[in-house]
Structures are given as C-alpha cells and as structure tokens.
Amino acid sequence: MFDVDIWQEIFSTIKKNKLRTFLTGFSVAWGIFMLMVLLGSGNGLSNGVKEQFAENAVNVMWMWTGETSIPYNGLKEGREVKFNNQDYDFLTTKSKDIEKVSSRYYLPNDILYVYGKEYGSFETSTCYPSLKDMENINVKTGRFINDMDMQEFRKVVVIGDEIRKALFKEEDPIGKYLKIGGVPFNVVGVSASKKRNQDNNRSAYIPFSTAQRIFNGGNRVHTFTVTSKMVQTAEEAEAITEKVRIDMASRHNFDSKDKRAMGSFNMLTEYIRTMKIFQAISLFVWIIGIGTLIAGIVGVSNIMLILVKERTKEIGIRKALGATPFSVISLVLLESVLITTVAGYIGLVMGVGLMELINFGLEQAAGAGASNMFFKNPTVDFKTAVSATLILILSGALAGYFPSRRAASVTPIEALRDEN
C-alpha cells in the first residue's frame, strides 16, 4: 500500500489544491508552533527559578536563636536561647532526619582583613567542611576547609574572589598569610560563585573550631546550617522542621512554637512548593498547547471532509474498478497524516528555532553582565520534541479518521449516478 503510486495520488490532489492545503497546514503548524513556544517559555521560567535555588542544596535548612517570647515551664519570656557544641553533637548523631551539619560562630562585624598595605572588612563564615556541599560553594583555586583543619584548629582561610581582588590584586594568594582581626591565616583556597555579583564572593571561610578558639567563642554556636533527608511533599519537609524544633526546644527549655526563641528556614519546603507551581504551569501549558493543536486538527478534518465530498465521484469510480475500503481509507488517511506531519514539523522547527534564538539572546545578555534572570534556557528538550512529533502523526490520523470513514462509505451507485 505504501508504494509510489499512493503518494503520487496524494501529491496530485495536494497540487490541485495548493491554497487549501497551505491554509490547513498553517493551522496545524501554528498549533505546534504555539505549543513549542509555550513549552519553551514554561521551561525557561522553571529553569530560571531552579537556578535561583541552585545557590544552595535544595534540602538545606538554617536555624538561629533569639530571645524567648512565650513563658515556658515557669520561665519568663525574654530569656536568651543559645546553641552550643552539644547541639552539634546531638544533630549529627541523634537526629535521624538531619544528614549534614555545619555550625557557625559569628565574628565581630568590624573585623579587618589585612594583607600588606591592603585591608578591608569582609564577612567571615565560620564553618565545617560540609558547608561546601550545602551552600554549593565553588572553589576556583586551592581547596576548601577540611577535617584536618577542624581537628588541628589550623589557621587557614578560603577567600572569596572579590576579597582576592581587593587584597591580592594580581598576586596568587595561595600559601600567603592574611591577617584577620590581627591573627595571621594561611590562604588555602579561593572561592568564586558561578553566578555574577554574588555576595558569596565577598565572604571568607575559616574552620569553625579555629574561630571558636581564637575569637573566644567558648562553647557558643550562633547558627546551624543543616541538610535534611530528601522528601517529596511540603508537609513531610515541614514535619522535619517541626521535629528539629521540638528537639531543640526540649534541650533549651522553650516552647517549640516560639519563633523568636529559635528561628528556622527550611529550603526544601519552599522548593517543593515552587516546583508544585511549575508542575501546574507546565500542565496548563500542555492543555493550552494541545487545545491550539486540536483547533488545527479540527481544521484539517474539516478540509478533508470537504475533500472527500468533492472526490465522491472519483472514490466511486475507484470502488467500481475494485478499490477496497481499506485502500480508500488509506488514501484519505495518509493525505491527512502527510499534511499534518509536514506542516506540524515546520511549526515544530520554527517554534524550537525561535526559542533557541531567544536562548542565544539571553546568553549574550548574560555574558554582558545582566544576570539574576528569572528566565533561563527556554528551550524544548528532545523528549518533548519526540512526543510532539508523535502527537502530530496521531493527530493527523485522527483528523483523517472521520473523513476516511466517510470516504469508505461512499457507494459507487450513488457516486456514479448520472445527473442528467
């Protein structure tokens, strides 16, 4: 059935009705074009927001303390709550939902960084080695803080790229000594956020143990950065936060509902909620896109019906000469599939092309310094394109189905009746 002849027959009818074929094809091409543009935009938005999250591990959680605001167990409000090293031990060993933990001890704000004649004030992040993964810290040269640094209270520092530029200019900072609050620290690494204009590049990282000892921290921990185990729903993520709060509340004698006594922010909850929104958007996009496509398909189906009506006589002749219903159906069906597939493919290529062009433009703009976009890589992946192609062929068959049924039901007697 799939020989040259049937295609020749199809092409000859298409050639006879160029405008009609074009208009029909256009509606399908437009449908697919819109679907691709919508999907691409949806992806772009989703990728943009994902990138915002990519600054940290998605399952990261921060905890900090303050003063109690609710009386508890006979204790008055206004009592200061303080984390300590025992809390670290508890979180790492006893808390099942917590995977990695990094403590932080705040250094005074006005602490100075001095190298030779250059000096400046920068943010110091005192941390455990695990912070690297939790906050996605990118080490450009050298290394990050390691376990040996922690154990031996080494005076080492990883500086942000902005600090390197400010203090070291063109010099290689690795192995050089830098004074922080008057204490010399050996520079072991330089970190640089992959994104531009990041505050992280103005931060320096020093081992928590060293900081606590040198800057008179005693047992004090100001904040914890932890990662929780991955869960699928916002409710589960919220339950983990709640569990940790209850643990901490019982350790420090405050009401677990007291947000002022202990603050916390679980990224995972936000991440899951945001991804839910994008799933909804993506579903919405598919619905609209498919709706547009259906309009195109109905157009094709309509045209094919008219075509069958016009060709009633021809179909009657063919049947009288021995055309089986199957051959008549395939004639109409294949024409429909051909029009939808070719036109749809053109729409697909144009839609994907436009999105790639926009992506190119965005990347150029990002290269020029405009970043922090909520729109990134607005392209359609291969899988989506393949499924779109399948949808096309299917929709072509669908568009041709009813007209071809009509064609097959043409009786030669009716068709060949001479209207004298």
Partner 1 sequence: MISIQDLHKSYVTGNNSLHVLKGLNLEIKEGEFVSIMGSSGSGKSTLLNILGVLDDYDKGNYYLSGKRIWGLNETQAAITRNAMIGFIFQSFNLISFKNAMENVALPLYYQKVSRKKRNLIAMEYLDRLGLKDWAHHLPSELSGGQKQRVAIARALISNPKIILADEPTGALDSQTSLEVMDILKEVNDQGITVIIVTHEHDIAALTKKIIRLKDGVIGEIITNGDLQNYRNRLTQE
Which residues make up the interface to partner 1 (CB under 8 A)? 3-5, 12-13, 16, 313-314, 316-327, 408, 411-413, 416, 418
Of the two residues 28 and 410, which places its CB atom closer to partner 1 in the complex? Answer: 410
Report, in Å, the least distance between residue 397 CB and partner 1.
21
Burial 115-150 (b: 16+ CB within 10 A, else e): beeeeeebbbbbbbbbbbbbbbbbbebbebbeeebb
Report, in Å, the least distance between residue 300 CB and partner 1.
21
The CA dihedral of 395, 397, 398, 403, to the nearest 10 degrees, is 140
| DSSP-derived 3-state class of residue 263 | strand
Identify how many contiguous H helices and E strands the chain contains and give both numbers. Answer: 13, 14
Of the two residues 181 and 325, which places its CB atom closer to partner 1 in the complex? Answer: 325
Burial (0-12, 13-18, 19+ Cβ within 10 Å), 219: exposed
Report, in Å, the least distance between residue 3 CB and partner 1.
7
Which residues are paired to 120 by β-bridges?
Answer: 113
Of the two residues 15 and 94, which places its CB atom closer to partner 1 in the complex? Answer: 15
Report, in Å, the least distance between residue 338 CB and partner 1.
17
Report, in Å, the least distance between residue 24 CB and partner 1.
19
Structure tokens at 103: 């403590």
Of the two residues 136 and 327, which places its CB atom closer to partner 1 in the complex? Answer: 327
Other Cβ atoms closer than 10 A to 318:
20
Report, in Å, the least distance between residue 23 CB and partner 1.
20
Of the two residues 18 and 96, which places its CB atom closer to partner 1 in the complex? Answer: 18
Token pair 């195109």 is found at: 296
Report, in Å, the least distance between residue 392 CB and partner 1.
27
Report, in Å, the least distance between residue 414 CB and partner 1.
10
Residues 6+ apart with CB under 8 A from 276: 234
Contact 347/25 with Cβ under 8 angstroms?
A: no
Contact 244/184 with Cβ under 8 angstroms?
A: no
Of the two residues 13 and 264, which places its CB atom closer to partner 1 in the complex? Answer: 13
- Residue 247 CA to residue 256 CA, distance in Å, equals 8
Of the two residues 3 and 170, which places its CB atom closer to partner 1 in the complex? Answer: 3
Of the two residues 12 and 216, which places its CB atom closer to partner 1 in the complex? Answer: 12
Of the two residues 4 and 368, which places its CB atom closer to partner 1 in the complex? Answer: 4
Report, in Å, the least distance between residue 14 CB and partner 1.
11
- Residue 63 CA to residue 311 CA, distance in Å, equals 76
- Residue 255 CA to residue 73 CA, distance in Å, equals 9
| DSSP-derived 3-state class of residue 205 | strand
Residue type, 323: A
- Residue 410 CA to residue 360 CA, distance in Å, equals 53
Kindly report the length of the chain. 420
